[in-house]
């Protein structure tokens, strides 16, 4: 279990196998290794369960009362689902406007095209960052740049986005030369680099979902991805914008600094990180979200995690007709 001490809202990551239960107004965790211990929920933004975590009803009730989302993962780091609090920030006007934009084909296509353009820009900026640091990714930059952003439906736009992701992930063989990836594989990941990409993407999806929960947006009404049952598709839309900014940076730092190596993984039908390397991954992921950069609109430094929420606010303003949505460009 990893507790991050901070004066403001921060996540907690649980990578051990524990049972969470409530006694009076305190939550406790218990397992064979550490026994019973109190579980702090003050100033907690969300909880990531990367081990086998059992949440008893009393603990769940208190976590929901405190507005703390709980995200669950399988042993390969794939997202399973979330225990989400009831909506505290409710605006019928925003949700109706969001739904109206989705139902209007031209308005939905406008937002979907803006998202894909933002994803493309994020990929190119990420690759150029590494190019300035001596990585031979010039051809990858040209390949991503050459993919057109056109189409008459969100599905067609997603097809072009898929082409960009293929070129972008192929470049990871240059960014992380100690690992090789033939193609993206998911369930389960069939090589170490796919394992890291899947874990990072899954954690980012949950982070985006937590940030959406802090706004008036409805997480299931999306514009690029199709809204389907049992998934928060707006989180998929926004997570793609931040994968090059967050996930790639975490993975390349860990691999190129030799913190994660070939022997950092366990393998059965797929690859997954061993406990100690998983701890290092969690720390690197948390640190990246906590890093600050000058926001192009606010003109002040904000964390990457807060940038995700700001992106939600920009969408809400677009739905209400206050300002046309333009994706972040860093």
**pLDDT reported for residue 8:** 57
Burial degree of 80 (CB within 10 A; 0-12, 13-18, 19+): exposed
Q: How open is the CA angle 159-165-171, to the nearest 5 degrees?
A: 150
**pLDDT reported for residue 291:** 92
Q: How open is the CA angle 119-300-48, to the nearest 5 degrees?
A: 55
**pLDDT reported for residue 104:** 95
The boundaries of every CATH 3.100.10.20 domain in the chain are 2-68
**pLDDT reported for residue 3:** 35
**pLDDT reported for residue 5:** 36
CATH class of 2-68: alpha beta
**pLDDT reported for residue 6:** 38
Q: What is the pTM of this model?
A: 0.89
Which CATH number applies to 92-319: 1.20.120.920, 1.10.260.30, 3.30.450.40, 3.40.50.720? Answer: 1.20.120.920
Beta-strand pair 10-14/2-3: antiparallel
- State the number of CA atoms in the 13 A half-sphere of 190 facing the CB: 7
Compute mean pLDDT per 10 residues along the chain, 330 residues long, and list them. Answer: 48 89 88 81 88 91 91 89 79 90 95 95 95 93 92 91 93 90 80 92 95 91 85 92 96 94 89 92 94 85 92 93 86
The boundaries of every CATH 1.20.120.920 domain in the chain are 92-319
């Amino acid at each position: 279990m990893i507790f991050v001490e901070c004066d403001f809202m921060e996540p907690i990551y649980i990578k051990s196998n524990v049972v969470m239960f409530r006694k009076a107004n305190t939550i406790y965790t218990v397992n064979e290794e550490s026994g019973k211990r109190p579980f702090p929920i003050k100033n907690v933004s969300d909880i990531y369960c990367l081990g086998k975590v059992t949440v008893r009803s009393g603990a769940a009730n208190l976590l929901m009362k405190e507005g703390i989302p709980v995200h669950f993962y399988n042993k390969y780091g794939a997202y399973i689902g979330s225990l989400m609090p009831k909506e505290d920030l409710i605006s019928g006007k925003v949700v109706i406007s969001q739904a109206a934009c989705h139902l209007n084909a031209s308005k939905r296509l406008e937002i979907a095209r803006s998202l894909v353009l933002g994803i493309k820009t994020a990929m190119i900026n990420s690759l150029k960052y590494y190019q300035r640091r001596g990585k031979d990714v010039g051809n990858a930059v040209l390949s991503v740049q050459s993919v057109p952003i056109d189409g008459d439906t969100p599905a067609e736009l997603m097809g072009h986005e898929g082409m960009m992701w293929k070129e972008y992930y192929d470049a990871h063989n240059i960014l992380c030369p100690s690992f090789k990836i033939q193609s993206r594989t998911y369930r389960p990941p069939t090589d170490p680099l796919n394992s890291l990409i899947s874990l990072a993407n899954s954690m980012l999806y949950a982070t985006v979902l937590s940030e959406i929960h802090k706004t008036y947006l409805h997480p299931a009404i999306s514009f690029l991805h199709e809204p389907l049952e049992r998934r928060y598709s707006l989180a998929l839309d926004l997570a793609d914008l931040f994968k090059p900014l967050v996930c790639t940076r975490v993975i390349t730092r860990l691999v190129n600094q030799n913190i994660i190596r070939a022997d950092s993984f366990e393998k059965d039908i797929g690859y997954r990180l061993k406990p100690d390397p998983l701890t290092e991954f969690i720390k690197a992921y948390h640190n990246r979200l906590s890093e600050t950069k000058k926001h192009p609109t606010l003109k002040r430094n904000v964390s990457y995690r807060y940038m995700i929420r700001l992106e939600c606010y920009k969408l809400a303003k677009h739905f209400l007709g206050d300002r046309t949505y333009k994706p972040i460009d860093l």
